[in-house]
Amino acid sequence: MQGAFSDIGGNGVDQDLTGLPPPAGSQALSVDSPSGSNTTFTAIGQAAIVSRGLDGLMAEVSNTRIAAAATYGINRESADDATSNGLLTVINNDIADSGKPLGGKPSFPAIYVNGFRGPASSFGGNTGARNGLNALVFHGTVTTALTWVTARNAAGPLGYLVDGDLNITNEPPAGLSDLTVSSGDIVKVKGSLTLAGGAVRADSVTTASTKVFTSLTDDSAGIPACHSILMACSGSAAVGDWSGIVLSPVSQTVSGSGSDFVNAAIRYAGTGIADTSRATGTARRLSTAWPSISPTRRLPCFESATRSSTTPRLKRSWAGSFPGTHCG
């Protein structure tokens, strides 16, 4: 599908395959354009593109230019599949001035993927500006390494918000599936952040800016998601608003070394970091600040600690802050 859509009262493209047998052929939906051109959507009364019931089906939305859609720019529902990998592609789309319905109604994200399983490259290269929620919002399973992109109001690459659980695994032919978080990045999650096939690489010190891992309800960090279509928050963020970071038993056995958190803050989690990775590493200097990890709803706090190079550990170094909590 390609072309131009303008001045539409409802959705630009509205597809619902819920409960229906798979369509003939392997592609349930394809909105794409030849190199050098784009499919455009302008002045759309609701969402530019809505597609439902995609579980187990191939679907692609690429190279679109969307302006002034009242709700979602792109809304992909039920795209998660337990056995297939990489069926969904949402790349190189630009969404502007969308997600801001009239009448004081909740704002909408530029792109929403309600369930995802596949490589990080399947949702790369999207940009946005002046949207109600200038972000790509998703939950599900990423099967390759993921470099975090922070959602910001400034025009540019669409950053990420997670409105459920995010699992990061490594599936063939992928190698290590690390999550890389850079200085100043803000990772906002509603459920849990689980590593199963790689490690958290939050050790960049290119700037003094703190790396923040926090709840989607935390409007003090990054772009605010409260009172958007994603959630109606009853108040300020609170302890236990998201589950926290989980380093699973298989999360670092490939590389042998563990996760790094340097100049990082973890806020409002049930358990800040739950570590069952049994990761080991080569000898190197450890930080003197070692966060305790508790299975309770208390967040971790700092304890001075030293460990030998042969002791299983979940990181090379830890340094940061874990505000809004008390020691357990």
Q: Which DSSP state fits 253?
A: T
Query: Is residue 288 assigned to a domain?
Result: yes
Domain interval for residue 88? 1-18+27-136
User: Is 112 found in the same domain as 1?
Assistant: yes
In sequence order, what are the beta bridge partners of 239? none
User: Is 44 found in the same domain as 7?
Assistant: yes
Question: What's the pLDDT score for residue 308?
Answer: 27
Query: Is residue 37 assigned to a domain?
Result: yes
* pTM: predicted TM-score of the whole model, two decimal places: 0.84
User: Helix, strand, or coil here: 174?
Assistant: coil
How far from the centroid of its chain's Cα atoms is residue 249's Cα?
A: 22
User: Is 119 found in the same domain as 173?
Assistant: no
Question: What's the pLDDT score for residue 109?
Answer: 98
Query: Is residue 53 assigned to a domain?
Result: yes
User: Is 132 found in the same domain as 200?
Assistant: no
User: Is 254 found in the same domain as 205?
Assistant: yes
End-to-end CA distance of the chain: 57
CA distance 243 to 190: 8
Q: Name the residue type at position 92.
A: N
Question: What's the pLDDT score for residue 319?
Answer: 46
pLDDT tens per residue across span 199-240: 899 988 889 899 999 999 999 999 999 989 999 888 889 999
Question: What's the pLDDT score for residue 312?
Answer: 33
Question: What's the pLDDT score for residue 58?
Answer: 79
User: Is 121 found in the same domain as 38?
Assistant: yes
Of 78, 102, 136, which residue constitutes the final position of a domain?
Answer: 136
User: Is 294 found in the same domain as 166?
Assistant: yes
Query: Is residue 146 assigned to a domain?
Result: no
Question: What's the pLDDT score for residue 45?
Answer: 96
Question: What's the pLDDT score for residue 29?
Answer: 76
pLDDT tens per residue across span 18-53: 777 665 555 677 888 776 778 999 999 999 999 887
Distances in whole angstroms, Cα of residue 246 to Cα of each of 5, 166, 305, 315: 44, 10, 21, 13
Ranges of the chain with pLDDT below 70: 1, 21-27, 35, 78-86, 173-174, 250-257, 279-328
In the chain, the number of structural domains is 2
